Structure 1
């Protein structure tokens, strides 16, 4: 890389906004791709050449304009908590760290508008005086930024009630284009789908408006079951029942051994259900659990919510992290099991793979329908074996969203991806944004 791009950035950026120290640039060029042993190998040497950390939208636009003039690849970063290499530059160039663009811009009844670099936990704190709260957020909410979640995530805690990002959980966004003259787009309605979970390939999210709901008093529970199918049946009926819910998670019994901070509560336990539910709905849940043989072994009252570790810190992809702390050979998949056939699918998986695949379900709403979404733990031995398991799960109807590729769309090509590509042609005519993340037909 020549010295010319560096000189151009030092001319247009404010003091403390441009960085080229190798150690710092290398660190900011990584995300949590190492959850995947496949990506850990493929992405370990990848790095940007420069970093900018703009403190204003004007500085961001100046940096983008300079990158266009130099025809530099540009990768946008939130907090780097993604698991698929979304924020890892494949071809060097410029990395844009959005962490200084972190203001809450406007809040009203039922909505809040924030800059993309705002951390989700900080936003939650700022919502406290309004007596409102977020609809959905990832298990990494203490570190993750709102822009990063929308551009690189999909669902999380709260999805049992409010669905995924596409289910009305983004109301509006401001997007910058990657052109000689940077345009500022106001995006609403169906057009938002072109920027949700698009890895920043077709525009730069600078602020977003999301829905918020009246604050609820959430209690946390862990239930023990002697039979996995009883645990799943209870979780399904609870998910389908009225009442406010934020989390309904089911774990095969072996997974509880990974949760070291809960080792006293989970000692000698069977299959587990983790729940966050409005405290006023407790009576119905107790009665339902009794019908399915569930025993309450842990409860954290609503007044202790957010004080110390919560049970959501062990769910979603934090489950994988706890497993990897015990044995780095564990990794994971993302699957949509069938609501109608989930029991037979589970039996088929366990008969085929036994303890090589440990089942973990997050019950969610997706496009208005209840789905037993799974993040099973996989004992990794080889890439070939991993993809054998993926093929098997796909063949039995438990479709896989592959977390072991950095390609947008998990290596597939669907209508939404085609729309994202068309929008990229408009907004990024030189093809500079997050290069290498869009699959081509030959790759598929």
Structure 2
């Protein structure tokens, strides 16, 4: 009955029932985790809709509330934790048609949630501006998907994560009989960042922007991974040198970067960088001082045109390992700067190359931190959590990427506040059911 009502209101062809299409739209990149793959592989919605206007979205939400049908918001599906996978069927809300750039001013951009970040960044750079931060999947990911499911990425070395002032305002739609639009600014946006869209459907956002920098891209090669880390630590903390990306992968991770095979050097660890072009010569000297070789450069004139070093950073490194390795997955970790080598040695001594190190240097609360996305040879769920337990026992903080439960993956989420907002904005618990631990499995 509700399916027919959707079609009657939206028009023929506006509601997707084709099984293969619905199955595709019911998935994100949860398969990065073998644990999540087994838990989520059979989860699928009953249908999908692609609203083209806010009013169409409001109509869809009202029908879902009337019939108590679960709603799962979705962007481009580049999330890794099952954020966009419906656990109890219902309707997939594909928001990619809500993709307008509302306005660009000197220091901020207003944009709809379905806008592709790659297109947004391209538009801004034509205006002499650029975003503070964006994910490595920026060409395909959407603003709403990044804000609700992500945390940081390119630019986090300079500007921190999403909740470090990198979202100025959000507008959400409530899920009730007469859906409302609510706008939150300043500190109040925190409750709607990385919340998987559980407490409101994010429809618009205001993001900070800055004057465009001419970024050069580089790869430095090191015989010794510890030298690569030392170089990266020194460079990361040198505020005078303007950086957008600083990523370090130890060998053998780079052997999986097949499209870089003419660049990768056998046995060499790699540091991948985006740096203000005015520092290119100084950067070369720094690399040499630490025993490295700045052996590959993409000039600023080719920035974001064709190959990008960011295509091999963040979880793209994991993706390449999965595509060309065997039984590879990953963890999300945070090492202690003053103990990083001690912690690395302890992990290597216990697990060998079962864990391969990959660091992304970022700011957390203004402090440079060696965040880590180590590639892990997957043997079993039990072994994976043995590794996690050991890492935590030596002071390495783990944000577990092998659960779809909000908050269990870390990020210091304000879970109590998110739950309070959900009760007000989604009183029938229809939004992304099962993702909040305390009410997981509850359905109306």
TM-score range, shorter chain: over 0.9
Quick check: 1:413–1:439 contact (8 Å CA) kept in 2? no
Quick check: 1:132–1:214 contact (8 Å CA) kept in 2? yes
1:233 aligns with 2:222: no
The whole-number CA distance in structure 1 between the counterparts of 2:87 and 2:408 is: 16
Distance 1:415 1:172, change over 3 A: closer
Question: Could you say what secondary structure the match of 1:340 adopts?
Answer: helix
For these two proteins, the number of residue pairs brought into alignment is 440
Q: CA deviation at 1:411?
A: 5.9
State which of 215, 234, 242 in structure 1 corresponds to 2:212.
215
- Matches of residues 169-248 of structure 1 in structure 2 within 5 Å? 169-241=166-238, 242-248=240-246
Q: Give TM-score scaled by structure 2 length.
A: 0.97
Q: Give TM-score scaled by structure 1 length.
A: 0.97
The whole-number CA distance in structure 1 between the counterparts of 2:119 and 2:289 is: 40
Question: Could you say what secondary structure the match of 2:368 adopts?
Answer: strand
Quick check: 1:171–1:210 contact (8 Å CA) kept in 2? yes
Question: Could you say what secondary structure the match of 2:338 adopts?
Answer: coil
Quick check: 1:14–1:59 contact (8 Å CA) kept in 2? no
Quick check: 1:218–1:305 contact (8 Å CA) kept in 2? yes
State which of 105, 120, 124 in structure 1 corresponds to 2:102.
105
Structure 1 equivalent of residue 384 of structure 2: 386
Specify every segment of 5 or more residues in structure 2 that has no aligned partner in the other structure, as ranges: none
Structure 1 equivalent of residue 427 of structure 2: 429
The whole-number CA distance in structure 2 between the counterparts of 1:442 and 1:277 is: 44
- Matches of residues 397-416 of structure 1 in structure 2 within 5 Å? 397-410=395-408, 416=414
The whole-number CA distance in structure 1 between the counterparts of 2:241 and 2:83 is: 36
State which of 88, 91, 110 in structure 1 corresponds to 2:88.
91
Quick check: 1:362–1:374 contact (8 Å CA) kept in 2? yes
Q: CA deviation at 1:14?
A: 4.0
Q: For each residue in 1:268-291, what CA deviation from the matched residue of structure 2 results, as whole angstroms up to 9, or x when unmatched? A: 242211111001012332222222
The whole-number CA distance in structure 2 between the counterparts of 1:383 and 1:218 is: 41
- Matches of residues 16-415 of structure 1 in structure 2 within 5 Å? 16-241=13-238, 242-410=240-408
Q: CA deviation at 1:417?
A: 1.0
Specify every segment of 5 or more residues in structure 1 that has no aligned partner in the other structure, as ranges: none
The whole-number CA distance in structure 2 between the counterparts of 1:414 and 1:160 is: 19
Distance 1:315 1:10, change over 3 A: same
| RMSD (Å) for aligned C-alpha atoms | 1.5
Q: For each residue in 1:99-138, what CA deviation from the matched residue of structure 2 results, as whole angstroms up to 9, or x when unmatched? A: 1100100111011111000000111121133100111111
The whole-number CA distance in structure 2 between the counterparts of 1:343 and 1:68 is: 53
Quick check: 2:75–2:141 contact (8 Å CA) kept in 1? yes
Quick check: 2:36–2:404 contact (8 Å CA) kept in 1? yes
